[in-house]
Amino acid sequence: MLHAVVMAGGSGTRFWPESREGKPKQLLPLTGGKPMIAETLDRLRPLIPPERTWVVCGAAQAEGILEACPDLAEAQLIVEPCRRNTAACAGLAALVIAGEDPEAILAVLPADHAISPPEAFQDALEAAAHAARMPETLVTFGIPPTRPATGYGYIRRGAECGEFGGARAWKVDRFSEKPDAPTARTFLEEGSYLWNAGIFVWGAETLLMEIHRHLPGLAAGLESLKPSLARGDFKEAIATLYPTLESISVDYGILEKAEKVVVMEASFDWSDLGSWDSLWEESEKDADGNAAVLPAGGAIVAKDSSGVLAYSSEAQTIALLGVENLIVVRTPDVVLVARRDRAEEVKALVERLEAEGRGDLLK
Amino acid sequence: MLHAVVMAGGSGTRFWPESREGKPKQLLPLTGGKPMIAETLDRLRPLIPPERTWVVCGAAQAEGILEACPDLAEAQLIVEPCRRNTAACAGLAALVIAGEDPEAILAVLPADHAISPPEAFQDALEAAAHAARMPETLVTFGIPPTRPATGYGYIRRGAECGEFGGARAWKVDRFSEKPDAPTARTFLEEGSYLWNAGIFVWGAETLLMEIHRHLPGLAAGLESLKPSLARGDFKEAIATLYPTLESISVDYGILEKAEKVVVMEASFDWSDLGSWDSLWEESEKDADGNAAVLPAGGAIVAKDSSGVLAYSSEAQTIALLGVENLIVVRTPDVVLVARRDRAEEVKALVERLEAEGRGDLLK
């Protein structure tokens, strides 16, 4: 059966001041009326029911996630005692789910990406699930790049290896981490590079086997949890084990080393919504390129202004006069005004606030 | 005796969204902890006691003014039923005060200017009161210009006509309305032009006589109020009369035509605080030229930002990243972000909001 593993452990400091420690990006309604994680689950629903939907998160996020996702039972939460990157996260989910359904195929995806239309995404997951039934196969999704982005990892596709549900799959030639700008331009020109969407489909047992091959430390750790899964003291066991695990991404720790990794080209629109700027990119804009992400009753009033993202968590007015390419974010205790092309540095601003003892603004 | 006539009828749309119909500029704490009108009265206090301080305002502002100025008795308010510019305002005040004190000398000044230090201002008023005791003399204040401002009227000084309390006075050669930029530069180079501060000192009876000479319609209207002043039905009489009066400034209607108008050079710092930009000009700034006008508990957090005015009516944080020369204003229902050099256009933005049926944002 196809299960979903939604990775929801992120803290999302790049959406400060709206995202906070207790209210990370996946709990914000950045792309619609609902928190992003609820949009993510809605998008999965026609394909994967709640009882096969699993959410991996930290203890701090559990309550907010259950509140945001009313159809999610608490038993579907896999709570990490601390963050240990995606290899541990995916391995833990595979262990837990394989215990219930050894044949499980897992669609592993972040809780906070913007993806549309849902139907195309569902078709793509279904096709990928077919591909993932080939022996020892790990499936990734590649997004055809539209610009020389430096904020994404890239996947170079190699030989074609079949068609699944009408979607073509290629053997992965290689993974590249976030490139510098000249390299990104080369990738775009070369034509066979795709953005790594961070969305994966694989058999639970296949992943555990690959972990055994390439991350023996993690494999041993996961193996040690098995008795506690049966006994019911899983929570205590994981609390002891988890801090000792290596922090490594599934891309770097497994995908770059595994033999049978395929990439399927996405037929859906995708953004990782990595910053306020990418929210502007993804939002509907008026004729002057201003985007308003405001609750009902909120308004933007713009005079001679363009390229602005206006965001407020409450139904207020954002008025602009003669300004360009800004991000204006209002929350109950902060107004942020930033140059849009420096949105990535919001993270650095948050780090500075922390260093300056303004932790009150981050909670 | 020296009386103060504080003109407090302005609506101050140029400080929207902080200034509103019910909370005009003179009621905002733009320069310190107190509303500007309270700062203005405090500045007068050592020279002029509450019982000789008069405030001319509209009915809509009366309550807010009494609240802002606890030492002001309601009997000291002169309420205009509608606005008819400064000639009518000054004439009305002269009529009311001359009824109590025919020898009264009036210091007529706006409620919402930024002036410091108070001692220099008090000395200047005292000196001007001496000058105003010369027969039929109207005294104005001129500010030595520091830039070719196009937002102020100018006064050209003529022959020197004496020294009063250590301050020199000149006969006014002529008044000039707000000039265009080339003319303003000529004025600055020429050396004998001063900014018209809109602050006047004259005898109540002297002004009434000049009104009689140059604005006979206003003189007749004021004359018609006299019986009601005695009878006690002044409020009804003024409500009938006022809408029929000509709307003309005291500068244009009287000062430009009167014979004996003198100008005294101000020894105090002055700004009419005509816009958010001039509030930035007048405010203390950090090394990057950022000014924070925030209540206690409010903070500005700036990274690679300069020349910004950050204003909030509540104790919140305004965070800036990579932005320059902006005005950022937060109120309970609006955030305004404007280019600082376009602050004058806030007025136009307000007019547009009114036209677009967003009067809710102006109240």
Q: What is the DSSP string of A247-267?
A: ---HIIIIITT-S-EEEEE--
C-alpha triplet A204, A210, A212: angle, nearest 5° = 105
Amino acid, res. B197: A
Residue B290 pLDDT grade (very low, low, confident, very high; cuts 50, 70, 90): very high
* pLDDT value at residue A167: 87
Whole-angstrom Cα distance, residue A2 to residue B213? Answer: 95
* Per-residue pLDDT at B11 exceeds 80: no
Whole-angstrom Cα distance, residue A9 to residue A56? Answer: 7
* 3-state secondary structure at position A114: strand
* pLDDT value at residue A151: 86
Whole-angstrom Cα distance, residue B354 to residue B345? Answer: 14
Given this structure, which CATH class describes domain B2-271? alpha beta
Q: Which of A133, A135, A118, A143 is nearest to A48 (CA)?
A: A118
Question: What value does the mean pLDDT take over residues B62-80?
Answer: 95
* Per-residue pLDDT at A43 exceeds 80: yes
Question: What value does the mean pLDDT take over residues A304-313?
Answer: 96
* Per-residue pLDDT at A65 exceeds 90: yes
* pLDDT value at residue A11: 76
Q: Which residues from chain B sit within 8 angstroms of residue A318, using beta carbons? A: 334-335, 337
* Per-residue pLDDT at B165 exceeds 90: no
Residue B13 pLDDT grade (very low, low, confident, very high; cuts 50, 70, 90): confident
Residue A351's H or E segment, with its range, is helix A346-355
Whole-angstrom Cα distance, residue A323 to residue B349? Answer: 14
What would the pLDDT profile of B131-152 be if each residue is shown by its tens digit?
A: 999 999 999 999 999 999 888 9
* pLDDT value at residue A160: 94
What mean pLDDT, rounded, does chain A reach? 94
Q: Which residues from chain A sit within 8 angstroms of residue B308, using beta carbons? A: 337
* Per-residue pLDDT at B108 exceeds 80: yes
Size of interface A-B (CB pairs under 8 A): 115
* Per-residue pLDDT at B215 exceeds 90: yes
* pLDDT value at residue B232: 82
Residue A9 pLDDT grade (very low, low, confident, very high; cuts 50, 70, 90): confident
Q: Which residues from chain A sit within 8 angstroms of residue B318, using beta carbons? A: 334-335, 337
* pLDDT value at residue A134: 93
* Cβ–Cβ contact A347 with B under 8 A: no
Residue B268 pLDDT grade (very low, low, confident, very high; cuts 50, 70, 90): very high
Contact B339 A323 (CB under 8 A): yes
H helix runs in B115-215, sequence order: 118-131, 181-190, 204-214
* Cβ–Cβ contact A257 with B under 8 A: no
Domain boundaries along the sequence of chain A: 2-271, 276-361
Share of chain A above pLDDT 70, in %: 100
* Per-residue pLDDT at A21 exceeds 90: no
Q: Name every residue whose Cβ is closer than 8 Å to that of residue B172 and which is 6 or more positions away in sequence.
A: B140, B155, B156, B157, B158, B255, B261, B262, B263
Question: What value does the mean pLDDT take over residues A339-356?
Answer: 93
C-alpha triplet A68, A72, A75: angle, nearest 5° = 125
Whole-angstrom Cα distance, residue B176 to residue B156? Answer: 8
* A198 vs A166, higher pLDDT: A198
pTM: 0.86
Distance from CA of B280 to the nearest CA of A (A): 17
Which of A317, A320, A352 is the best substitution to test chain B (most B C-beta atoms within 10 A)? A317
C-alpha triplet B132, B138, B142: angle, nearest 5° = 100
* Per-residue pLDDT at A5 exceeds 90: yes
What mean pLDDT, rounded, does chain B reach? 94
A156 close to A145: Cβ distance less than 8 angstroms: no
Question: What value does the mean pLDDT take over residues B243-270?
Answer: 94
Share of chain B above pLDDT 70, in %: 100
Residue A31 pLDDT grade (very low, low, confident, very high; cuts 50, 70, 90): confident
* Cβ–Cβ contact B320 with A under 8 A: yes
